[in-house]
């Protein structure tokens, strides 16, 4: 019997399929921009969408907010210990690669480099006001163009 010594690695095909399923639930969602949000004006206001000037992965109740937060939550990655922190908001303000590095250090969860690139590009598009469906379609790798979703 041959055993595979490598841990399970999430490849780009899997990441695309999982992000697609999340986006199909709410394709035209646009993440609110910080400079157009009420939290820009109110001092000490805990905004569920923003942390400092960035987009939040999880809100104050540890529920997912951004597309990557939803994807992490779909893998049950949604507690401080998954990220090796005391409070989940300590991981806010980090980019996808930094967050996945934290996760990999704390639990058995490994993502391939091309999957990380795809997730990073989707996040960047979302964070600059692109609707989820377009953030997905515009960043599909060439080999996965057949996964495109219907846009407006
Ligand atoms: Zn806000």
pLDDT in tens, 58-111: 998 999 999 999 999 999 999 999 999 999 999 999 999 999 999 999 999 999
pLDDT of residue 1 exceeding 90: no
pLDDT of residue 5 exceeding 60: no
CA-closest candidate to residue 27, choices 71, 67, 72: 67
Q: Where do the domains of the chain lie?
A: 12-145
Q: How far is the CA of 15 from the centre of ligand 1 (A)?
A: 28
The predicted structure's pLDDT at residue 152 = 79
φ, ψ dihedrals at 120, nearest 5°: -65, -45
Q: How far is the CA of 142 from the centre of ligand 1 (A)?
A: 34
Question: Taking the model in full, what pTM does it have?
Answer: 0.92
Which pair of tokens denotes residue 21? 């399923």
Q: Any idea of the CA torsion for 91, 96, 45, 87, to the nearest 10 degrees? A: -20
pLDDT of residue 22 exceeding 80: yes
Q: Is 52 or 9 the better-scoring residue by pLDDT?
A: 9
- pLDDT tens readout for residues 114-140: 999 999 999 999 999 999 999 999 999
Q: How far is the CA of 92 from the centre of ligand 1 (A)?
A: 13
| Cα–Cα distance, 39 to 26 (Å, whole number) | 24
CB 149 within 8 A of CB 138: no
Split at pLDDT 50, 70, 90, the class of 45 is low
Q: Which helix (H) or strand (E) holds 55?
A: strand 54-55
Residues near 82 by beta carbon (within 8 Å), at least 6 away in sequence: 72, 103, 106, 107
């Amino acid at each position: 019997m041959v055993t595979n010594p490598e841990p399970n690695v999430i490849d780009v095909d899997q990441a695309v399929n999982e992000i697609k399923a999340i986006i199909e639930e709410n394709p035209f969602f646009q993440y609110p921009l910080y400079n157009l949000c009420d939290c820009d004006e109110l001092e000490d206001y805990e905004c569920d969408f923003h942390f400092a000037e960035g987009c939040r992965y999880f809100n104050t109740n540890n529920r997912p907010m951004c597309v990557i937060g939803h994807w992490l939550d779909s893998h049950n990655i949604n507690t401080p210990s998954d990220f090796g922190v005391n409070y989940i908001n300590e991981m806010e303000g980090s980019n996808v690669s930094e967050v996945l590095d934290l996760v990999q250090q704390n639990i058995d969860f490994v993502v391939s480099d091309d999957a990380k690139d795809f997730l990073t590009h989707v996040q960047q598009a979302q964070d600059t006001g692109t609707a989820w469906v377009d953030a997905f379609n515009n960043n599909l790798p060439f080999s996965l163009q057949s996964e495109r979703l219907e846009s407006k």
